[in-house]
A and B are shown apart, each in its own frame.
Chain A
Amino acid sequence: MALPVAFFAVFFAYPVAAIVARGLKTDGVWRFGRIGEVLAQSDIRHVLWFTTWQALASTALTLLIALPGAYVFARFDFRGKQVLRAVVTVPFVLPTVVVGTAFLALVGRGGLLDQLWGVRLDTTVWAILLAHVFFNYAVVVRTVGGLWSQLDPRQEEAARMLGASRFAAWRKVTLPALSPAVAAAALMVFLFTFTSFGVVQILGGPTFSTLEVEIYRQTSEIFDLATAAVLTIVQFVAVGAILAVHAWTVRRRETALRLVAPETTARRPRGAGQWALLGGVLASILVLLVLPLGVLVQRSLDAPGGYGFAYYKALTSADSGIFLVAPIAAIGNSLEYALAATAIAVVIGALAAAALTLPESRLRSTGGTSMTGRLVRGFDALLMLPLGVSAVTVGFGFLIALDEPPLDLRSSWILVPLAQALVGVPFVVRTMLPVLRAVDGRLREAAAVLGASPWRVWREVDLPMVRRALLIAAGFAFAVSLGEFGATVFIARPDNPTLPVAVARLLGRAGDLNYGQAMALSTILMVVCAVALLLLERIRTDRTGEF
């Protein structure tokens, strides 16, 4: 437990605290009055309001569209279901920059809809909302659908036998069992959309700005650190509250439900209604999830001289002057950084997850105190914080906090992987925890009685069972590190850009060539992420992970 705590203290708490201090402290005196001053500004209040309501709207819209999907994935058995499940998960691991770019290609100026019907959504909030749905569809399907598929249908049948109608049975039996999962999924979506950066940065234009985007603007464009610090605190508090509620719902979800193997609950759709539902869900997936990615690929190939790889070829030259190196070098950089970040995240996350499960098994045998339990849960929540705390703050905090001895890492390449690992750790922990918790403590005891020392027990019993989860966790950490944008944009050096940073810079420039190259680079990034995910999907078990 010591190593993960130290990691978080040095690379998360310290930089965030440093930037907050930088903003709120002048001449060694804390000026908390600034908080009030900043919050009184009307444009800041506008940002706060927009952040909240777009997150609420995105969450509602995501639930509305994804819940039928969750039902279809949970209860229906149809050909290609496995592939489709992988397809809907691809957007979730896609870098936000790619999502933004894809939607720009679909609904932006000169986008597909613009060409076909002259419809442009990139100046409206709809683009943001749809991108958020695209991004978070998998969260709902995975969290809610995962539980739904394991609910024993016989519970509903029991209610039917006691005289409940089909709908009443669903409402009285299934819905209550499902509601904690729905709440947890909704909170995750709210969290992700509340802290949305890349999507809003690209699609929001000058009109729309979330807290995270505003923090970025204040630090990197206006250099108003005080305002940024206040906004960081606001976001921190909000995220903390969301996570607290999330932890609470997760705990409720862990209450004893009779779960069965998902294979036994799914069956082929029957009747026109069910086929229509399946068709509707497939259509919505096609339009919302597949179409943007398709357009992205199409745009990347649609060069001035006809379809071809012109934009991809352009990526190999450094002539454009935006970068010191050819954009294609960003691929190598990204992969190297992501691999290093994955290694760090897996080590830290696995240690944290092990620390979180160990006291629990000890608690059970000794009847331990609620105090330890609370401590463990607190640590659990702490690990989730990097998901929600402004990545921009972390990135900027790295720059100003880790620039002097003994920790002068500013010029070190490790800085980028460290920041990316921070975002990857929560995914590793979330993936490992359920599996580690599912290991029956008595199996460990059986091994101990047969003469295995604690270390042998871990190697012989725990490791074989979590090996798959560890691989999956590594894959998630890899995909997330690859797509990390908010922190990396600050600390990646100009001669070593990562893929998302390069995409954002290309998009920031005018001209068809830059735009095309951005599309091409996004496509490459998407393919790398999708391949990583599809590989994972092959080893995935339904037990693993909450994402």
Chain B
Amino acid sequence: MARLAKRATEEAQEGTTEHPRSRTQAWAQAQAQTRTRDALLRVEAATVRLGGRPVLDAVGLDVAEHEIVCVLGPSGSGKSTLLRAVAGLQSLDAGRVLLAGRDQAGVPAHKRGVGLMFQDHQLFPQRDVGGNVAFGLRMHGASKEQQGARVEELLELVGLPGARARAVAALSGGEQQRVALARALAPRPRLLMLDEPLGQLDRSLRERLVVELRQLFGELGTTVLAVTHDQGEAFALADRVVVMRDGRIAQSGTPLEVWQHPADEFVARFLGFDNVVAATVRDRLADTPWGKVPVPEGTAQGPGTLLVRPAGVRLVAPADGLRCTVAARTFRGTHVAVQLKPEGGPPIEAACALREAPAPGDEVGVAFEAAEIVVLGEPSAP
């Protein structure tokens, strides 16, 4: 946790370079006293029970100003509930939500000053695009001129200039998405929350929008808390990724850290890694059901869980490695995923170049590369 907070502050520091110096100083002092006071959003031991079952279980989370944090987890892991709790739409059974250091207990949703973009957008069907975007401004008492100017500005920003008079029912999924974003951004929320922001869009649109979003938030300096079940989306969007499982936080770190060093088997499998086995590490070798496997230098000794990324599985002649039968192969565009059935132990997945992929039924040997192997459940190298 301390490590996380440190990184959060580091990243926040980078983000605040253009802010007045005095503020940075004051902030550094504050940081010296309590490391997390500057967190724009602080969630402390938040617990929500629905029907006796904890949906959020003592979740702690800090989001620093200008940071983009993405909560990643399978459906039912409690990530949407977390957003609703922060927004004030879901009351906590225990714990606290602090925004800019102020406890939000008893503060109703409409007074929290946070934005929430809903999973299926929830645009107001009886209003046109402009009416939707201006809604939050009207609620905050903006004048007609202010509203008009800001609506134009935002529609421009999300790439829908001149769309203000269109009916929301006539918009495509991607356009609705943009309008929902403009609507959430219009009142300048101090924290913008996105619930599965790109969930319903098709793949190519999603990949394009995620880049646009990251660029946009960077330019605006928006503080963002997003939730998604799509790791690609999370990694592309976030400064920091928080993986949730059964209402608890399983891991938190930069996308690269999480990708390289999944905290445990759950996170590894959720990220799509399937070559996970129990292992005992002695020196630079691990004892696994697949036999002796080399591990990188500095790996913690003793029993653990071992992950071999598909790229770390090299196919060799049957005599030169672990003897396997090819069970299936799946074309993945850039490579072929090959399912191997070893003589002992669980199946192995390997990634092969298109031309070299063996056919199902072939006998192959498997050698492991230490560089693509990581033992899970241990602190990563600093």
Tell me, yes or no, whether A465 is within 8 Å of chain B by CB: yes
Q: How far is the CB of B111 from chain A (nearest CB, A)?
A: 8
Given that A367-B51, A445-B109, A447-B135 are contacting pairs, would A461 and B116 also be in contact in the complex, using a CB cutoff of 8 Å? no
Residue contact A451 to B122, C-beta cutoff 8 Å:
no
In the bound complex, what is the Cα–Cα distance between A516 and B87 (angstroms)? 69
Q: How far is the CB of A446 from chain B (nearest CB, A)?
A: 4
User: Could you say which residues of chain A place their CB within 8 Å of the CB of B112?
Assistant: 449
Tell me, yes or no, whether B262 is within 8 Å of chain A by CB: no
Tell me, yes or no, whether A234 is within 8 Å of chain B by CB: no
Given that A450-B183, A451-B139 are contacting pairs, would A443 and B110 also be in contact in the complex, using a CB cutoff of 8 Å? no
- Which partner residue on chain B sits nearest A463 by CB separation? B126
Residue contact B89 to A464, C-beta cutoff 8 Å:
no
Given that A365-B89, A461-B124 are contacting pairs, would A449 and B114 also be in contact in the complex, using a CB cutoff of 8 Å? yes
User: Could you say which residues of chain A place their CB within 8 Å of the CB of B124?
Assistant: 443, 446-447, 460-461
Tell me, yes or no, whether A440 is within 8 Å of chain B by CB: yes
Given that A367-B51, A449-B110 are contacting pairs, would A440 and B136 also be in contact in the complex, using a CB cutoff of 8 Å? no
Q: Which 6 A-B pairs have the closest CB atoms?
A: A450-B136, A451-B139, A448-B109, A446-B122, A449-B116, A367-B50
Given that A366-B91, A465-B126 are contacting pairs, would A449 and B135 also be in contact in the complex, using a CB cutoff of 8 Å? no
In the bound complex, what is the Cα–Cα distance between A464 and B139 (angstroms)? 16
Given that A367-B51, A448-B109 are contacting pairs, would A442 and B118 also be in contact in the complex, using a CB cutoff of 8 Å? yes
- Which partner residue on chain A sits nearest B116 by CB separation? A449
In the bound complex, what is the Cα–Cα distance between A464 and B140 (angstroms)? 20
User: Could you say which residues of chain A place their CB within 8 Å of the CB of B113?
Assistant: 451
The residue in B87, B89, B109, B113 that gathers the most chain A C-beta atoms within 10 A of its C-beta is: B109
User: Could you say which residues of chain B place their CB within 8 Å of the CB of A119?
Assistant: none
User: Could you say which residues of chain B place their CB within 8 Å of the CB of A452?
Assistant: 110, 135, 139
User: Could you say which residues of chain A place their CB within 8 Å of the CB of B114?
Assistant: 449
In the bound complex, what is the Cα–Cα distance between A440 and B126 (angstroms)? 13
Tell me, yes or no, whether A456 is within 8 Å of chain B by CB: yes
In the bound complex, what is the Cα–Cα distance between A453 and B51 (angstroms)? 28
Q: In chain B between 304 and 337, which residues have their CB closer than 8 angstroms to a CB of chain A?
A: none
In the bound complex, what is the Cα–Cα distance between A23 and B79 (angstroms)? 63
In the bound complex, what is the Cα–Cα distance between A445 and B89 (angstroms)? 7
User: Could you say which residues of chain A place their CB within 8 Å of the CB of B50?
Assistant: 367
- Which partner residue on chain A sits nearest B53 by CB separation? A367
Interface size of A in residues (CB-CB distance below 8 Å) = 22
Residue contact A365 to B118, C-beta cutoff 8 Å:
no
A-B contact pairs, 17 of them (CB 8 A): A365-B89, A367-B51, A442-B122, A445-B116, A445-B122, A446-B118, A446-B124, A447-B139, A448-B88, A449-B184, A451-B111, A451-B140, A452-B110, A453-B108, A453-B110, A461-B124, A465-B126
- Which partner residue on chain B sits nearest A461 by CB separation? B124
User: Could you say which residues of chain B place their CB within 8 Å of the CB of A365?
Assistant: 89-90
The residue in A448, A454, A460 that gathers the most chain B C-beta atoms within 10 A of its C-beta is: A448
Contact size range, B: 20 to 34
User: Could you say which residues of chain B place their CB within 8 Å of the CB of A451?
Assistant: 110-111, 113, 136, 139-140, 187
Name A's B-contacting residues (CB within 8 A).
365-367, 440, 442-443, 445-454, 456-457, 460-461, 464-465
User: Could you say which residues of chain A place their CB within 8 Å of the CB of B89?
Assistant: 365, 445, 448-449
Q: Within the complex, which residue of B51, B111, B122 is in contact with A443, where a contact is CB–CB below 8 Å?
A: B122
Tell me, yes or no, whether B115 is within 8 Å of chain A by CB: yes
User: Could you say which residues of chain A place their CB within 8 Å of the CB of B109?
Assistant: 445, 448-449
Q: How far is the CB of A27 from chain B (nearest CB, A)?
A: 56
User: Could you say which residues of chain B place their CB within 8 Å of the CB of A367?
Assistant: 50-51
In the bound complex, what is the Cα–Cα distance between A445 and B87 (angstroms)? 9
The residue in A366, A451, A452 that gathers the most chain B C-beta atoms within 10 A of its C-beta is: A451
- Which partner residue on chain B sits nearest A465 by CB separation? B126
Residue contact A450 to B126, C-beta cutoff 8 Å:
no
Residue contact A448 to B90, C-beta cutoff 8 Å:
no
User: Could you say which residues of chain A place their CB within 8 Å of the CB of B110?
Assistant: 447-454, 456-457
Residue contact A460 to B135, C-beta cutoff 8 Å:
yes
- Which partner residue on chain B sits nearest A453 by CB separation? B110
Q: A453-B108, A461-B124 are in contact. List 17 more A-B contacts (CB 8 A).
A: A365-B89, A440-B122, A443-B122, A445-B109, A445-B116, A445-B122, A448-B88, A448-B110, A449-B89, A450-B135, A450-B136, A450-B184, A450-B187, A451-B110, A454-B110, A457-B110, A464-B126
Q: How far is the CB of A365 from chain B (nearest CB, A)?
A: 6
In the bound complex, what is the Cα–Cα distance between A279 and B6 (angstroms)? 80
Q: How far is the CB of B189 from chain A (nearest CB, A)?
A: 8
Q: How far is the CB of B118 from chain A (nearest CB, A)?
A: 6
User: Could you say which residues of chain A place their CB within 8 Å of the CB of B111?
Assistant: 451
In the bound complex, what is the Cα–Cα distance between A132 and B135 (angstroms)? 51
User: Could you say which residues of chain A place their CB within 8 Å of the CB of B116?
Assistant: 445-446, 449
User: Could you say which residues of chain A place their CB within 8 Å of the CB of B120?
Assistant: 442
Residue contact B87 to A449, C-beta cutoff 8 Å:
yes
User: Could you say which residues of chain B place their CB within 8 Å of the CB of A448?
Assistant: 88-89, 108-110
Question: What mask results when residues 127 to 163 of chain B are scored 1 for a CB within 8 Å of chain A, else 0?
Answer: 0000000011001100000000000000000000000
Q: How far is the CB of A211 from chain B (nearest CB, A)?
A: 46
Residue contact B51 to A450, C-beta cutoff 8 Å:
no
In the bound complex, what is the Cα–Cα distance between A263 and B130 (angstroms)? 30
User: Could you say which residues of chain B place their CB within 8 Å of the CB of A447?
Assistant: 110, 124, 135, 139
The residue in B50, B91, B118 that gathers the most chain A C-beta atoms within 10 A of its C-beta is: B118
User: Could you say which residues of chain A place their CB within 8 Å of the CB of B136?
Assistant: 450-451
- Which partner residue on chain A sits nearest B111 by CB separation? A451
User: Could you say which residues of chain B place their CB within 8 Å of the CB of A460?
Assistant: 124, 135
In the bound complex, what is the Cα–Cα distance between A465 and B115 (angstroms)? 24
In the bound complex, what is the Cα–Cα distance between A449 and B135 (angstroms)? 11
User: Could you say which residues of chain A place their CB within 8 Å of the CB of B184?
Assistant: 449-450
Residue contact A449 to B115, C-beta cutoff 8 Å:
yes
User: Could you say which residues of chain B place their CB within 8 Å of the CB of A454?
Assistant: 108, 110
In the bound complex, what is the Cα–Cα distance between A443 and B124 (angstroms)? 7
Question: What mask results when residues 96 to 120 of chain B are scored 1 for a CB within 8 Å of chain A, else 0?
Answer: 0000000000001111111110101
- Which partner residue on chain B sits nearest A446 by CB separation? B122
In the bound complex, what is the Cα–Cα distance between A448 and B89 (angstroms)? 9
